[in-house]
Structure formats: structure tokens, C-alpha cells
Structure 1
Amino acid sequence: MELSLHRLRMLRELHRRGTVTAAAASLHYTASAVSQQLALLERDVGAKLFERLGRRVQLTELGMLLTEHAEEILAAVERATLALEEAQEAVSARLTAGVWASVASGLLPSALASLAAEHPGIEVRTRELAPEETADAVRDGSLDFSFVIDYTDAPTPWDPNLERAVIAVERLHAAVPAGAVPASSVPLLDLAEHPWILASPRSHFGRAVRVACQRAGFEPRIEHEVEEQATAMAMVAAGLGITLVSDLGLTLKPQGVDIVALTTPVMRTVSIAYRRAAARRPSLQLVIQAVRMAAAELGLGASESASG
């Protein structure tokens, strides 16, 4: 019997999520692709592993037995990876990272260029995800690490199986149509009468900005709901409203947009999340060091070290 690690990860996620659709979403595959791989796993094992109960899938006794061993096998693979890296004089590894647009454009180019020059054996591949999805993908094993955000005004729950290394501390600024706000800095309350362009409250960013506005004493009048900062700023440039943008997001600013500081800053922390079992991986620590240096060069460095 030959067991695929890829299929074992799908089995583990099916057990956690309860439906093929939910497992597929967490692993960023289609439901049909997951179903096909699970069917191949049953063929590899030569026994029935699943039973359908309406929309849910229930593991058989053999399925549960294999899931328990899958956890041990996948943990052993991670330990073996760590041991091999620690035994090498020159670190060689391939890591997959979860990113979003402002991190990919504002931090990664200089960080990965520096990493490639000093440690050419380390290859970092990226996958763009919504910030709300990246930590789950690390926990589930489909990513080695990811960038995550935590807002002062809307802290997010933290998975005890993950650790994080703080990379940067950003301020949020008002992005307004050119000439719309003559002052170089304003209280957030002074922006209450403007139409707003903002991410949905399902996102960390959209939720945090709404909370900040409420604390300032108003509910933002949201006329356009978009998720990406680059899209929001393009709409600001067209005169459709105002938004808030992070320090890293300023690299995406188009013509026709003024950036106005907030007199009472709205802050957010950018961290790298990784599994506790991977904390000692030399390659991971070298990536964290390179990204921290890139953030420090932009004036966004954070002195805080990894915290769970």
C-alpha cells in the first residue's frame, strides 16, 4: 500500500470540516477535485473509508483509524523536514507563503531579493489569499507560513496551534480625492460627512475601520463596498468617496489621490504565522529575518519577537 501525503491531508481536513465542500474550500481546491482524490485514497487502501449522510460525509471505522495515523504521519514528515534542514550546512528548502496584495507589493520584492542573494537554496512560493484565510491554510498544512493582520480596534482570535512573529506595525491613513481635504492631518470624525468606500464587515479590515469610526463617534456612510485597497483607491481617484489605506497599501496609490494623516492613529500589526512544530526550521527563521529587515527599511519595523 502506498499512501499519498496529499490525500492524507485531504482526509484529515474532511474529518475536521465534515463536508467535502468545506474541506475543499479550506484547501483551495474544487469539491470535485477533493472527491476524486478521496476516491483514489479508498482505492489505494482497498477499503471503504466514507459514508454519505445527506450533505455530510461520515468516516467509517477504518476511515477514523486512517485519520488518526494521518495526523501522526504528517507530523512525522514535518519533524523529518526540520531534522534535514538542521543537518545541512547550507539551508535548502522550498516554502509556500500566503500573502495579500499590499504585502506582496510592499514587502516581498526586497525581502525575497535579499534572501535569494544570501541564501540561494531557499525558494519561497506565494499564494494570494484573503487575509482572513491565511492562518487557516497554515494550520491545515497547505501553507508553510502566512502573513496575518491584527488591528488595535478589532483584535482577532488566535489559534493556539500557531505561533506568529511580528514583522511590521502600520498606520492607516485617509485616502481622499485630490483637493477634497486641504489639511495634512485630520481627526477621523472630520471625515464623517464624506461617502465611504470600504471592505465588507466580513473582512478584518472592513470590521476594524467600522469599529474605529464608531469609536470616533459616527457610522460611515458606505456607498461602495470593495475588498481590495487598490480598487478602493481607484474609486477614490474617480471622486466616488474616501477610504482608509495602510502604509504598505500606499505603494498602490494612483494619481488623483491625496493621503491625509489621522490625528489619532488607527494601527495594525502584520505578522508571519506558522505552525508551532515548524518554529525551529532554519529556512523559516531566515525568511522571517529577511522580511523583518525589509519592513525596517521602510520604517515599519517591530521590535517584538514571536508570540503565540
Structure 2
Amino acid sequence: MAFTVPTQHESRLLTLSRVELSLQRLRMLRELHRRGTVTAAATAMHYTASAVSQQLAQLERDVGASLFERLGRRVQLTELGMVLAEHAEEILGSVERATRALEEAQQTVSVRLTAGVWASVATGLLPSALTALATEHPGIQVRTRELAPEDTAGAVREGALDFSFVIDYSSYAMPWDAALSRAEIAVERLHAAVPAGALPAATVSLPELAEHPWILAGPRSHFGRAVRIACQRSGFEPTINHEVGEQTTALAMVAAGLGVTLVSDLGLSLCPPGVDVVALTEPVMRTVSIAYRTRDARRPSLQLVIEAVRAAAAAKGLGAQAAPSAGVQDPEHAQPWCSPTT
């Protein structure tokens, strides 16, 4: 990729007028410009900080000029760094638009997509969906990155992911980002996960679980907040003895007799021996969707991925409506965790 550097800047003559620049290094520069620290840029791109530092140092060598200066823990772009960062936004945007146009014009699709996933989707839907996709459309390669559900939509918006799985709960609808669209994939029930033999009945109400200690994700997580709200609406505040983010860990603690939690249909495969799954008398539902940038709505590869995942969900009896939905909010409990301001 050729990039023309201004031949004069603040009365300083630059002998270098044309350089070959790596798109990946330009992406790192863009993230550094947005976030201010190498660590934050590395986290956003799922690299180590040392790897990003090395690539940014190489970018300076490619350009032949200083692009950064350190101010404590933060890294500030020099004036030339700002010039290049501004052009990087334009260059990367042009490459993205060209990629979409080429894909739409091709009769066969050959592309690599990066998806944001979390445990129950990764185990319950993706294996069969990606196997079918590889058979029917071998040109589409899907790479996955496991993130907390709260983080995936923001990563799509910022370009770190091509699409991600997101969730809405009947007790807590997700605030939405106007730059993103979503296609509904599956509708699940939540069930009580309790130590084996703890509940003799085939069903249980949420209030009946009030006397048990709970194992639950923190209130800043979408799942943890949704379950807390469902319990509050049932008239009690759960006694949380163990605040655990990983569902597999929470279920292992249930199996050990340390408390109860809730688990979705897709999460049932994560339950170890020693866990009984009991239906709730008042259903708590959640909708799984694929989030993507609205400007990518016509990408054939994205639509083929959505079709494959919907087919996998339907095969499990979890199918959702086919039309993409607009975001909905519960005004009482909405928090803009995937809005541009977070």
C-alpha cells in the first residue's frame, strides 16, 4: 500500500515522499490514536502489548520519522503521527468499502470473517454451523474470538470483529447502537441449575430459589444483571455467595453443592455431572442474535453465515424469526453498554 507523505511540514523538508505501509500496522496506529495507550490498543485488537509495540516501531522505520512520544503511561502522536493516523482512517475505510464491493460482485464468495463468541454459543451452535458452512461454502473462513457478551457489540462497531453474537433477556433488553444491525438467531429459556437431588419437583419458581445461595456473574455483566432483575421482579434479592463470570465455573460450583444458578438451553451442554436442570414455572427467555455493521448488511458472506447459524439453531428447536430486528430498550433498566459513549 503506497502512501504519499507531505514533502514539507513546519518548514522541515522530508526527503521521503513515498513509502509502502502495512494495513495491519495502520490498524494498530488507528487503535493507538483512538485509545491512547499501547495496552488498550493491544486489548482491542487481541494482541499482546509487546507485539503492538514492535509493529508500531516498525511503522516508524517504514516512514523514516518519529510518529509517537511517551507521556507517562500514555502515548501521544507527533504531528506527523497525526497526519498518518488521519490518512489511516481514510485508507482503511476505502479498503473496507472495496472489499464489500468485490464480494457483492463475485458469483462465488471467498472471504475470512472474524466473529465474537461466548461459551454457550461456541459449544451449542457454532460447531454444526461452521461445519455446514465449510461444506456448502468452503471459500468462507470464520475465525472466532471469545469475549464477554457485553464486549462483543462494541468490538463490531469499532471494526475489530466482522460480527458477533449478542443477547437480549426478557427481564433486561439490551440498549442498542444505531451503527449496528442484528439478525435474530435463537430464542432460549433459562432453567434453574441446582445440585443433584436438591429439588424433588420437576419445576420450580424463582421465589422458591430465594432460600438457596446463588452463584452468579457480577451486576455489570448482561447475564448477571438480567438474572438479578428477574429475581427482583419475583420479589426477592438473591443471596450471592459466589460471584463468578465463567458459566462453566459457576456450574462446577453448583455440582459441588455450593449454590444455584440459571442456565440457558444452549448452556445445557456445559452442565457437569452433579447438576440437575429444573424448569422455571415463570419462563425467563433470552434471544440470541448476530450483530453486524449496518453498512455490511448486503455482504453475501455475512448472510450465508447467518443462514448457517439459523439452521443450526432450528435443528435444536431454538429457531427465531427470520427478519433482522431493531434494538429495543427497557427504559427502567437500560444501560448503554454497547453505545458509542462506552
Band of TM-score, shorter chain = over 0.9
Matched, 1:126 2:126: no
Matching residue's letter, 1:15: H
Equivalent residue number for residue 223 of structure 2? 205
Equivalent residue number for residue 303 of structure 1? 321
**Which structure has the bigger radius of gyration?**
2
Equivalent residue number for residue 330 of structure 2? none
Which ranges in structure 1 are unaligned for 5 or more consecutive residues?
Answer: none
> Structure 2 residue aligned with 1:246, among 264, 273, 277?
264
Equivalent residue number for residue 329 of structure 2? none
Matched, 1:222 2:240: yes
Task: Provide the identity percentage.
Answer: 79
Deviation at 1:268, TM superposition (A): 1.6
CA 60–156 in structure 1, closer or farther in 2 if over 3 Å, else same: farther
Name the CA distance, whole Å, in 1 between partners of 2:323 and 2:88: 32
Superposed CA deviations along residues 161-208 of structure 1, whole A, max 9, x for unmatched, are: 222211112111100112211222222111000011111223211121
Deviation at 1:108, TM superposition (A): 0.9
| Greater fraction helix | 1
Q: How does 1:16-35 map to 2 (within 5 A)?
A: 16-35=34-53
- Runs of 4 or more off by more than 6 Å in structure 1? none
Equivalent residue number for residue 106 of structure 2? 88
Superposed CA deviations along residues 106-137 of structure 1, whole A, max 9, x for unmatched, are: 10111112212221221212222222222222
> Structure 2 residue aligned with 1:264, among 264, 278, 282?
282
> Structure 1 residue aligned with 2:169, among 151, 154, 159?
151
Matched, 1:281 2:310: no
Name the CA distance, whole Å, in 1 between partners of 2:324 and 2:79: 40
Deviation at 1:303, TM superposition (A): 0.6
> Which segment is superposed worse, 14-23 or 1-10?
14-23
> Structure 1 residue aligned with 2:214, among 196, 213, 225?
196
> Which segment is superposed worse, 281-290 or 2-11?
2-11
The answer on whether the counterparts of 1:197 and 1:226 sit within 8 Å (CA) in structure 2 is: yes
Matching residue's letter, 1:291: V
Superposed CA deviations along residues 5-27 of structure 1, whole A, max 9, x for unmatched, are: 11111111112212222222222
Deviation at 1:84, TM superposition (A): 2.0
Equivalent residue number for residue 44 of structure 1? 62
Superposed CA deviations along residues 207-251 of structure 1, whole A, max 9, x for unmatched, are: 211121122111111122222222222221221111100110011
Deviation at 1:304, TM superposition (A): 4.9
Matching residue's letter, 1:44: D
Q: Equivalent residue of 2:28, what SS?
A: helix
CA 12–160 in structure 1, closer or farther in 2 if over 3 Å, else same: farther
Matching residue's letter, 2:20: E
> Which segment is superposed worse, 238-247 or 28-37?
28-37
Matching residue's letter, 1:285: Q
CA 160–38 in structure 1, closer or farther in 2 if over 3 Å, else same: farther
Deviation at 1:42, TM superposition (A): 1.8
What TM-score, normalized by structure 2, do the two folds share?
0.85
Aligned residues: 308
Name the CA distance, whole Å, in 2 between partners of 1:221 and 1:236: 14
> Which segment is superposed worse, 184-193 or 297-306?
297-306
Q: Equivalent residue of 2:97, what SS?
A: helix
The answer on whether the counterparts of 1:18 and 1:57 sit within 8 Å (CA) in structure 2 is: yes
Matching residue's letter, 1:25: T
Q: How does 1:57-206 map to 2 (within 5 A)?
A: 57-206=75-224
The answer on whether the counterparts of 1:134 and 1:148 sit within 8 Å (CA) in structure 2 is: yes
Name the CA distance, whole Å, in 2 between partners of 1:48 and 1:164: 42
Equivalent residue number for residue 4 of structure 1? 22
CA-based RMSD: 1.7
Name the CA distance, whole Å, in 2 between partners of 1:157 and 1:38: 35
